[in-house]
Amino acid sequence: MISKLLAVCFMALALVGCASVTMGDPKQDAALKAFPAAKPGTAGVYIYRNETFGAAMKLDVAMDGQPVGQTAAKTYFYKEVAPGKHTIVSKGETADTLEFNAVAGKLYFVWQEVKMGLMSARTKLQLVADDVGRKGVTESQLAASK
């Protein structure tokens, strides 16, 4: 009985791998990690997931009702937005929404935290301080956005 249970556990672990997404251009990734100022009249938004927890799950991200793409472990997106109110939605087993007011010329860092869910990963979005966000983005790689 125990040997069958162990065999099933090992098979389940073998089937669980890391989710992968299409990655962005390495040159653009390097340039964005220098944290350049956003284009005039816009704000820059980094949405990052720097954890390996939940690595087998992709999480959908949308901004202002438009799909941005899917994150996997250690990935991020960068978007430039007009000043004003913006809404980011992250979907896993649960959905989380973050609203913020963008100011032209400012960079924003949004951490997509992954939490244990019942059937899949749950998600939580948090606007974080610049130093925390820069570190998280540096630990991640640019994912291709839609």
- Residue 9 in any domain: the answer is no
- The domain tally of the chain equals 1
Question: What does the alpha-carbon distance between residue 103 and residue 82 come to, in Å, rounded to a whole number?
Answer: 8
pLDDT at 8 over 60: no
The three-point CA angle 77-125-26 to 5° equals 15
Q: How far apart are CA 135 and CA 144, in angstroms?
A: 20
* Residue with more model confidence, 19 or 84: 84
pTM score: 0.83
Place of tokens 């704000």: 43
Domain with 42 in it: what CATH number?
2.60.40
Judge whether 3 lies within some domain. Answer: no
Say if 11 falls within a structural domain. Answer: no
What integer pLDDT is reported at residue 70 of this predicted model?
92
Q: Does residue 81 sit within a domain?
A: yes
Specify if 49 maps to a domain.
Answer: yes
pLDDT digits (tens, 9 = 90+) for 36-89: 999 999 999 999 999 876 566 788 999 999 999 999 889 999 999 999 999 999
Q: Which domain range does residue 83 map to?
A: 18-142
Give 81-112 pLDDT, tens digit per residue: 999 999 999 987 788 999 999 999 999 999 99
13 within domain boundaries: no
For residue 26, being part of any structural domain is answered with yes
CA separation for the pair 74, 126 (Å, rounded):
16
Residue pLDDT, tens place only, 119-134: 566 789 999 999 999 9
In a domain, 134, yes or no: yes
Note the pLDDT of residue 92: 79
